[in-house]
Amino acid sequence: MDWLLSLPPWAAALLATCFTYAMTALGAALVFFVRRCSASVIDGMQGTAAGIMIAASFFSLLLPAKESLEGTGAAAAFILTCGFCIGCAFILLAEWRMRKSCRFADRECRSGILTCCAMTLHNIPEGFAVGVAFGSIGAGNTFVAAVMLALGIGIQNFPEGLCVAIPLRRQGMSAGKAFFFGQLSGLVEIAAGVLGAVAVQAIRLLLPWALSFSAGAMIVVSCSELIPACMRGDGRIASVGVAGGFALMMLLDVLLG
């Protein structure tokens, strides 16, 4: 553990985002063994990931951003609100643009490349959030909070890789190609994570903006993608997952943070 704490922020962010990518690849790798996966299992995992990410948005991103702005009064409220809203708007506009260019609900448009692009779009702010969390250690954030954020995103990435690869395999694509497209979307998180850590370290004034931006982006991803997806089946399993994920993140942050 000591050697992890001694790493520079960009190196810690690199390791953390390699983990989140590995979880995406691990989920996609199941395509070599199964063609189908229980919907209730995926719902539970997505619900848990959504709960962890929502809690992480507050405990690991917004709260450290607020603490870094202590004493600035109305300026702090303005920065946090603007950063959060910009993060929300970024994801909403990107999703709108993606749907406008190709209607992903249409079966003909759900090719591996386009599906991978849609998932990649959502993974950029997630990787950036991990990098910002590690880059802000010691400036309002803690190592445990950064690790928990990476863990939550990694848990979310496992069913994400699975949900991309399994449908492609079911439609007749070979297992190798389905795995390739399933894991590909996770690669962008590594670059985004290192960029987030370096940017925050280089420009300290960027810290509260980056933290609140990442929180807004993650909230929108959780509420527009993860929660609706897991609620399509047994809503009780998904609800327990969301509540359990939030409670787990809160418990660990309070006990270890």
Q: What is the pLDDT of residues 191-221, one digit of tens each?
A: 988 988 888 777 777 778 888 888 888 888 7
Distances in Å between the alpha carbon of 204 and those of 5, 93, 139, 210?
20, 27, 9, 10
Structure tokens at 216: 């807004």
pLDDT at residue 190, rounded to an integer? 92
Residue 256: the pLDDT is: 61
pLDDT, residue 105, reads 46
* Domain positions in the chain: 8-31+39-256
pLDDT reading at 133 higher than 80: yes
CA distance 76 to 106: 44
For residue 109, the model assigns a pLDDT of: 41
**Helices 207-221/39-56 angle, 10° precision:** 160
Q: How confident is the model at residue 141 (pLDDT cuts 50, 70, 90)?
A: low
Coil vs helix vs strand at 158? helix
pTM over 0.95: no
Residue whose pair of structure tokens reads 């010691």 in the numeric block: 138
Structure tokens at 1: 């553990």
- Report DSSP state, residue 60: I
pLDDT digits (tens, 9 = 90+) for 176-191: 888 888 888 788 889 9
pLDDT in tens, 58-86: 887 788 788 878 766 788 889 899 999 99
